[in-house]
Amino acid sequence: RLLGAFNYPVVDWLDMGCYLEYIDRDGQYQLLCLSHSGFAPLGRSTRFMLREERFHVGWGRTALKRVILAQRVPVDTLQRYMNLWMPGGMDLFGNDGSKSSVWAYERGLKGRPYEMQNLRQTGQLIGDAREALNGIARSAYFADVSKQVEAYNLLLAKQGRRQLIVPSEKFNRKFGDYREQRWTLEGDHELSVEEYPAYLAANLPTPADRALIQDLQLHEQYT
């Protein structure tokens, strides 16, 4: 899948932590969909791939937690890195109304995330429209990363620092229904063509952010 999130440069260790937290988490959800495959060898093999993916995601989560606990990186800087990587994770689910995902579902190659677990517990499937399979998986992912941000905010609250926010599902999207639109970080309104470049630059990692992380990377010692 030739999507832009795989081509974002990983410049420093904070990029790497965000990549593992948000991009590898997408991989976890893709594997959850494939774990319901009617092609038994594929369905069985995903249990081993999911273990590896959970390790990657756990590493990223631990890295961001340590960043917060160390209190060397301003919350504004961490927010801008998250603003870069979260939309990339959302994009990796592909287009809404995808015909290829319907094709894969109808032929039993993939399902919805947690499909059989939900069916056993409630007797119902998660969502009905086959055309919305990518959106169903994306919504589960968004709820998951939102819970992680809540956990980070508990740490920040203990430090008396300001809270992180979860970028809107509309913000800085390159795939899906909100592709190339100009929504604000909160998703409450769309900016003009003239306003958007400056707004985007101010809410993604700045040269000053990059310089700070590089300096920490070169000179700070962490225990």
Question: Which residues, 6+ apart, have CB-to-CB distance to 32 below 8 Å?
Answer: 46, 50, 113, 114, 137
150-189 pLDDT per residue, tens: 999 999 999 999 999 999 999 999 888 899 999 999 999 9
Interval 109-133 mean pLDDT: 69
Of 139 and 122, more confident: 139
Residue 223's pLDDT is 43
Average model confidence (pLDDT) across the chain:
87
> The whole model's pTM is what?
0.86
User: How far apart are the C-alpha atoms of 206 and 202, rounded to whole Å?
Assistant: 7
What pLDDT band is residue 84 in, cutting at 50, 70 and 90?
very high
Q: How far is CA 63 from CA 6, 50, 51, 152, in A?
A: 20, 20, 18, 11
CA 135, distance to chain mean position in Å, is 14
Closest CA to 203 of 62, 86, 61, 68: 86
For residue 126 the two structure tokens come to 């998660």
